[in-house]
């Protein structure tokens, strides 16, 4: 839309437009242009008028702004997410004057930068005001007179809702539609590429075919293609109004044509099925009398090109630039360059790696500006909590969350969280005690226990879990001690060679990648044995982190093992490492079932004498007797996917060398903290730059849907995975897809194929010789094909949530929009409730990095089980994951400090402060109940004054000036943090007086209490039961809080 706005005023430049876009009818200029405006600091603008303008241009009012096209109002603050901006905008009004314009982070809701102005454009290409909706309804009824008005499209637009796919009905909103020619300046020159008309005809033919197939759908009727697209004659008439240049291949010359002398290049692609795969390339190049330039995208691929040409006796020379090549008279040259196609004329020949290998890598160097997810926040707080969800109260056990209620208590109005237990008994927990509540994760919510209030069953469960947790804590600390005692090689600091290696990476690291790399290098420099877990969502760049560590190790003269669970992934890693290390003299080898026994034997011998630096292998490496000359680093990818015997062999390797483990399994930060340093953890949660979330659809199997999905991907030059997980019937599916998409190049891949055949299939797909791969879950781990951006999963209801997430991660690994189609059976009888819930969850969790929020019990328990051991599942299920980890943390800390945990009270009672006045976030300050609950939980979980100050600043930034009751809430929390440091259990401070109660074992200096009482004889008095009485307290709550703060500060401790 920004382009449409700028087009009429552009004076120079090049606009590249696919013919499909040029054919499309778009909203008229008089709708788009007047609805864009500049909002500037200091501008006078009626607040309500701006809100009306946002609604009229399609913005949707929400409680909290996360996505483009949303806005939210909180007092004098307006948050909205304009189209075309990288961050949402926060406008602060003073009366009707724009006082400030700030961008903010949608994840944290905190301000980022102060701006002078912001460009506001419509949220959609169509209006959603009352007049537009009325016109839509009228036009719909006249266009589709026989169609039910129960159509979801009709109903949603009638209700003023933006609808996905409404672009198909744009003509119903306007009297007339425009096209791109209506926006470009009059002096535009139109350059028409070769075969444009043929491509346009094919596209329109495909549109008409889909229209005929779907036109009879009652609930979603279609407009005729001519309403949405220009016809060929109309297209010609539009571009005939402009000066034109037509590009065409050699053929019948047109009038005024000029020949550039080009010839059509022959097919010189490698053919692995032939005895001489590169014969076509050799014959073509050897017979040329003109200079030849072969280009590749990266140095690694260029080295590969040189190797291939060298094997067919064609020597090459490297040139730095195209100008250097133009100066040559004869010979074959290679250079770095991102050419899409080659060139052959009477003077020179240019070939691309695509023409030789059938592959082109996408390597755009970008710096990520996206914000990382914090898995800790996702997993531990009460976000996404719905009524009926299981929650755990430390003292009362597992109940069901009911909601947030306001109740009057001790003359004050407070928000309470209501929890329902067995027999409909209810517990009301004040917001000041939310740290006693955690979300229950351990088993599926429908199978979570429901305890009875007042029963001792929960106490017994907690006591039994505490004893088991003590055993785990002792074992963890024992392992930690042994690990500290183990010594390993201390690698030197990085040097200039390492910096050069880093500079050769086509992508700049995200913040998380850089931090993980720095931590690993720090580990390697120490003498302590390294055992670091690098955890990141699929496609987030864990391999690059591992390659930098491997480079540093081999530069120091040591060898590296990279262990992977599958043959396909091993091949993928081998090619990735080979490409990345192309400029360096390090030898990389592969050991998998793709290698013969003789090849494995030769590689083993070379490893033993130190002539192999990095070996990438599967279980084949683990089961082969290999003596490493100087092994320095072990990298393990997805360790949990190895078998039991292989894990034992891995343990033997780990005992001797530094180890880095890569996993996409989300391990919460709390798990690492509880282990007291047993295993260092690095989280990579920042998505790569310009990465788009995969759009996910759950649809019943329909041949038309399958053919449309494949055709659309192939039409943009992409590739498709079609996943069918039954080897017995996979060839039947292959035949079916051949009939649906006869022009596709289809291949089949599964784990029961002969190793050479499977290698050939995967290589062909990787090099784009095939563009549809019918396969099993053999592609689940690590396959990285940036050009494959559609995956169709047959019988998706049969897969688990984590597996669906992994499979979906095979696409969307470039800057293109990717799609996942989850096919289900038509018969609801065999479509289980659990399967529906899993599919709903995968569709909703389509954000980048969503692996950390998918299925809490599924992924958290799996992550915990990997490290804590399967025997702990029983305790995790009985008390819930979060409480288990809290108890484990506390037990480890207690043992470290020389104490013994109390099994009767494994987590001591928290601290309470009550100023006997209203302390809450009012409804008119934060209207959304769920948002208030999350903020209360965060407030209750703060542990330092710094965190409290930061949180308070965030609240003011997000919601405006704090009301009095919110100020009291922050004052109460401040006193609570102070009480925790002083051994104070409870503070009650009302207008008529109160008490300060200490824990019986508090390490308080009696002299400090005596000094306080002598300083305030009328106000303070020592009582029995570890209490201090307060009288004559100020009526003003702020002054009262200040007096309590003074008292707490004056309490001295013995140590």
Mutual angle of helices 196-214 and 232-239, in 10-degree steps = 140
500 and 608 housed in the same domain: yes
615 and 764 housed in the same domain: no
> How far apart are the C-alpha atoms of 177 and 170, rounded to whole Å?
8
Torsion of CA 212, 215, 220, 222, to 10 degrees: 80
Strands (E) across 908-968 are located at: 912-914
Cα angle 524, 528, 532 (rounded to 5 degrees) comes to 60
Assess if residue 10 is contained within a domain: no
- Which residue shows structure tokens 């197939």? 213
Chain centroid to Cα 576, Å, comes to: 22
Domain boundary among 357, 376, 391: 357
> How far apart are the C-alpha atoms of 649 and 652, rounded to whole Å?
5
> How far apart are the C-alpha atoms of 720 and 710, rounded to whole Å?
7
Q: How many CB atoms lie within 10 A of CB 815?
A: 14
702 and 648 housed in the same domain: no
Q: Is the Cβ–Cβ distance between 391 and 385 less than 8 Å?
A: yes
Strand order in the sheet with 89-94: 60-61, 70-74, 77-80, 89-94, 97-104, 111-115
641 and 785 housed in the same domain: no
- Name the 3-class secondary structure at 821: strand
Assess if residue 895 is contained within a domain: no
CB-based contacts of 251, cutoff 8 Å, min separation 6: none
pLDDT tens digits for range 10-49? 888 888 888 988 999 999 988 888 888 888 999 998 888 8
What's the pLDDT score for residue 828?
Answer: 55
For residue 648, what is the domain's CATH number? 3.40.50.300
- Name the 3-class secondary structure at 379: helix
Q: Which residues of 40-63 are buried (b: 16+ CB within 10 A; e: fewer)?
A: ebeeeeebeebbebbbbbbbbebe
What's the pLDDT score for residue 672?
Answer: 45
> How far apart are the C-alpha atoms of 509 and 944, rounded to whole Å?
32
Residue ranges of the chain whose pLDDT lies below 50? 359-383, 667-676, 851-864, 866-867, 870-872
Domain boundary among 357, 376, 392: 357
What's the pLDDT score for residue 129?
Answer: 77
What's the pLDDT score for residue 822?
Answer: 93
Domain boundary among 314, 338, 357: 357
Q: Is the Cβ–Cβ distance between 172 and 136 less than 8 Å?
A: yes
Q: Which residues of 376-393 are buried (b: 16+ CB within 10 A; e: fewer)?
A: ebbbbbbbebeeeebbbb
> How far apart are the C-alpha atoms of 950 and 973, rounded to whole Å?
13
786 and 919 housed in the same domain: no
CB-based contacts of 376, cutoff 8 Å, min separation 6: 668, 669, 670
Q: Is the Cβ–Cβ distance between 43 and 193 less than 8 Å?
A: no
612 and 726 housed in the same domain: no
- Which residue shows structure tokens 């996408």? 362
> How far apart are the C-alpha atoms of 669 and 857, rounded to whole Å?
16
Assess if residue 670 is contained within a domain: yes
Torsion of CA 221, 225, 227, 229, to 10 degrees: 140
Assess if residue 687 is contained within a domain: no
Q: Is the Cβ–Cβ distance between 770 and 558 less than 8 Å?
A: no
User: How many angstroms separate the Cα of 8 from the Cα of each of 3, 83, 178, 185, 230?
Assistant: 9, 19, 14, 5, 21
- Name the 3-class secondary structure at 115: strand
Give 664-676 as a 3 state SS string.
CCCCCHHHHHHCC
What's the pLDDT score for residue 690?
Answer: 66
For residue 334, what is the domain's CATH number? 3.40.50.11140
Residue 799 corresponds to which tokens in the numbers above? 């897969």
Domain that holds residue 505: 489-679
Q: Give the number of domains in the chain.
A: 4
Assess if residue 439 is contained within a domain: no
Strand order in the sheet with 819-824: 695-700, 819-824, 788-793, 719-723, 772-775, 746-749
670 and 713 housed in the same domain: no
Assess if residue 511 is contained within a domain: yes
652 and 700 housed in the same domain: no
For residue 1022, what is the domain's CATH number? 3.90.1150.50
Please state whether beta strands 1027-1030 and 993-998 pair in parallel, antiparallel, or not at all (unpaired). antiparallel
pLDDT tens digits for range 395-426? 888 999 998 888 876 667 888 889 999 989 99
The continuous run of DSSP H or E covering 99 comes out as strand 97-104
Give 460-525 as a 3 state SS string.
HHHHHHHHHHHHHHHHHHHHHHHHHHCECCCCCCCCHHHHHHHHCCCCCCCHHHHHHHHHHHHHHH
End-to-end Cα distance, the chain: 66
Assess if residue 396 is contained within a domain: no
666 and 707 housed in the same domain: no
835 and 919 housed in the same domain: no
What's the pLDDT score for residue 634?
Answer: 92
Beta bridge partners of 190: 244
Assess if residue 744 is contained within a domain: yes
- Name the 3-class secondary structure at 1036: coil
Q: Which class for 1014: exposed (0-12), middle (13-18), buried (19 or more C-beta within 10 A)?
A: exposed
What's the pLDDT score for residue 272?
Answer: 53
719 and 668 housed in the same domain: no
Beta bridge partners of 1021: 1029
What's the pLDDT score for residue 558?
Answer: 95
Closest among 533, 473, 393, 481 to 889, alpha carbons compared: 473
758 and 799 housed in the same domain: yes
Closest among 1004, 1001, 998, 996 to 1055, alpha carbons compared: 1004
CB-based contacts of 18, cutoff 8 Å, min separation 6: none
> How far apart are the C-alpha atoms of 266 and 262, rounded to whole Å?
13
Beta bridge partners of 77: 74, 92
User: How many angstroms separate the Cα of 395 from the Cα of each of 437, 460, 647, 775?
Assistant: 9, 11, 40, 51
What's the pLDDT score for residue 271?
Answer: 66
> How far apart are the C-alpha atoms of 949 and 969, rounded to whole Å?
13
């Amino acid at each position: 839309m920004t382009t449409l706005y700028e087009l009429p005023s552009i004076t120079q430049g090049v606009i590249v437009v696919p013919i499909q876009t040029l054919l499309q009818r778009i909203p008229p200029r008089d709708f788009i242009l007047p609805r864009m405006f500049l909002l500037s600091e200091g501008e006078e603008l009626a607040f309500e008028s701006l809100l009306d303008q946002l609604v009229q241009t399609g913005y949707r009012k929400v409680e909290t702004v996360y996505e483009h096209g949303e806005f939210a109002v909180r007092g004098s603050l307006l948050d909205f997410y304009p189209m075309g901006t990288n961050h949402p905008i926060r406008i602060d009004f003073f009366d009707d004057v724009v006082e400030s314009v700030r961008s903010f982070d949608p994840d944290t809701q905190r301000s980022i930068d102060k701006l002078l102005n912001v460009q506001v454009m419509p949220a959609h290409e169509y209006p959603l005001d009352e007049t537009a909706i009325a016109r839509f309804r009228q036009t719909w009824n006249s266009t589709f007179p026989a169609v039910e008005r129960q159509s979801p499209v009709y109903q949603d637009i009638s209700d003023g809702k933006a609808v996905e796919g409404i672009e198909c009905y744009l003509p119903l909103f306007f009297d007339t539609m425009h096209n791109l020619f209506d926006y470009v300046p009059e002096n535009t020159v139109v350059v028409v590429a070769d075969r444009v008309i043929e491509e346009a005809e094919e596209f329109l033919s495909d549109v008409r075919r889909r229209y005929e197939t779907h036109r009879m759908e009652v609930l979603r009727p279609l407009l005729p293609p001519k309403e949405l697209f220009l016809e060929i004659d109309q297209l010609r008439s539009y571009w005939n109004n402009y000066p034109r240049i037509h590009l065409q291949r050699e053929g019948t010359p047109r009038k005024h044509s000029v020949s550039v002398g080009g010839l059509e290049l022959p097919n010189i692609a490698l053919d692995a099925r032939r005895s001489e795969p590169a014969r076509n390339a050799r014959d073509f190049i050897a017979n040329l009398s003109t200079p030849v330039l072969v280009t590749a995208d990266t140095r690694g691929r260029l080295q590969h090109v040189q190797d291939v040409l060298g094997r067919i006796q064609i020597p090459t020379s490297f040139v730095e630039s195209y100008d250097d090549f133009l100066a040559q008279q004869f010979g074959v040259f290679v250079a770095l360059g991102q050419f899409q196609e080659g060139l052959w004329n009477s003077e020179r020949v240019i070939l691309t790696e695509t023409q030789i290998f059938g592959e082109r890598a996408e390597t755009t160097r970008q710096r990520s500006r996206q914000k990382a997810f914090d898995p800790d926040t996702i997993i531990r707080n009460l976000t996404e909590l719905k009524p009926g969800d299981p929650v755990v109260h430390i003292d009362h056990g597992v109940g069901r969350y009911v909601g947030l209620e306001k109740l009057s208590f001790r003359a004050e109005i407070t928000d309470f969280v209501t929890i329902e237990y067995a027999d409909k008994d209810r517990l009301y927990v004040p917001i000041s005690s939310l740290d006693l509540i955690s979300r229950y994760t351990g088993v599926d919510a429908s199978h979570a226990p429901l305890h009875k209030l007042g029963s001792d069953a929960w106490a017994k469960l907690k006591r039994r879990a505490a004893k088991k947790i003590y055993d785990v804590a002792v074992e963890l600390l024992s392992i930690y001690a042994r690990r500290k005692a183990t010594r390993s090689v201390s690698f030197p600091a990085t040097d200039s060679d390492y910096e050069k290696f880093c500079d050769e990476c086509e992508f700049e690291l995200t913040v998380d990648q850089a931090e993980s790399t720095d931590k690993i290098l720090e580990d390697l420099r120490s003498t302590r044995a390294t055992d670091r877990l690098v955890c990141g969502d699929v496609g987030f760049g864990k391999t690059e982190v591992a390659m930098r560590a491997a480079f540093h190790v081999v530069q120091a003269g040591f060898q590296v093992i990279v262990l992977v669970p599958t043959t396909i992934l091993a091949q993928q890693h081998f090619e990735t490492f080979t490409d990345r290390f192309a400029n360096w003299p390090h030898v990389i080898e592969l050991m998998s079932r793709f290698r013969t026994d003789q090849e494995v034997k030769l590689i083993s011998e070379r490893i033993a004498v130190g002539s192999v630096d990095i070996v990438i292998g599967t279980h084949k490496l683990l089961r082969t007797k290999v003596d490493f000359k100087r092994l320095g680093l072990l990298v393990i990818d997805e360790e949990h996917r190895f078998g039991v015997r292989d894990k034992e062999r891995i343990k033997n390797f780990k005992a001797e060398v530094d180890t880095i483990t890569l996993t996409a399994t989300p391990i919460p930060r709390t798990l690492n903290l509880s282990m007291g340093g047993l295993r260092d953890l690095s989280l990579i949660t920042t998505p790569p730059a310009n990465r788009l979330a995969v759009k996910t659809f759950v649809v019943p199997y329909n041949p038309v849907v399958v053919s449309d999905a494949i055709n659309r991907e192939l039409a943009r030059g992409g590739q498709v995975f079609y996943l069918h997980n039954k080897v017995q019937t996979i060839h039947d599916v292959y035949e079916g897809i051949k009939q649906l998409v006869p022009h596709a190049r289809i291949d089949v891949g599964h784990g029961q194929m002969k190793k050479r055949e499977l290698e050939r299939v995967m290589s062909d797909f990787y090099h784009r010789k095939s563009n549809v791969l019918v396969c099993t879950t053999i592609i689940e781990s690590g396959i990285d094909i940036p050009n494959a951006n559609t995956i169709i999963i047959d019988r998706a209801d049969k897969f688990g949530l984590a597996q669906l997430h992994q499979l979906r991660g095979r696409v969307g690994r470039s800057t293109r929009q990717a799609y996942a189609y989850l096919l289900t059976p038509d018969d609801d009888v065999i479509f289980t409730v659990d399967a529906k819930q899993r599919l709903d969850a995968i569709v909703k969790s389509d954000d980048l990095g969503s692996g950390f929020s998918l299925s809490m019990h599924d992924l958290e328990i799996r992550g915990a089980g990997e490290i804590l051991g399967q025997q702990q599942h029983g305790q995790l299920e009985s008390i819930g994951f979060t409480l288990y980890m809290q108890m484990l943390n506390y037990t480890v800390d207690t043992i470290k400090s020389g104490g013994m945990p109390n099994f009767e009270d494994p987590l001591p009672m928290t601290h309470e402060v009550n100023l006997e006045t209203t302390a809450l976030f009012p409804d008119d300050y934060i209207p959304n109940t769920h948002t208030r609950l999350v903020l209360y939980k965060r407030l209750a979980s703060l542990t330092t004054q710094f965190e409290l100050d930061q949180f308070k600043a965030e609240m003011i930034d997000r919601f405006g000036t704090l009301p009095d009751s919110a100020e009291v809430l922050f004052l109460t929390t401040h006193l609570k943090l102070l009480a925790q440091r002083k051994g104070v259990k409870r503070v009650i401070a009302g207008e008529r007086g109160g008490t300060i109660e200490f824990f019986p074992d508090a390490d308080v200096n009696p002299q400090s209490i005596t000094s306080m009482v002598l300083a305030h004889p009328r106000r303070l008095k020592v009582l029995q039961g570890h209490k201090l009485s307060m009288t004559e307290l100020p009526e003003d709550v702020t002054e009262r809080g200040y007096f309590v703060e003074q008292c707490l500060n004056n309490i001295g401790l013995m140590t």
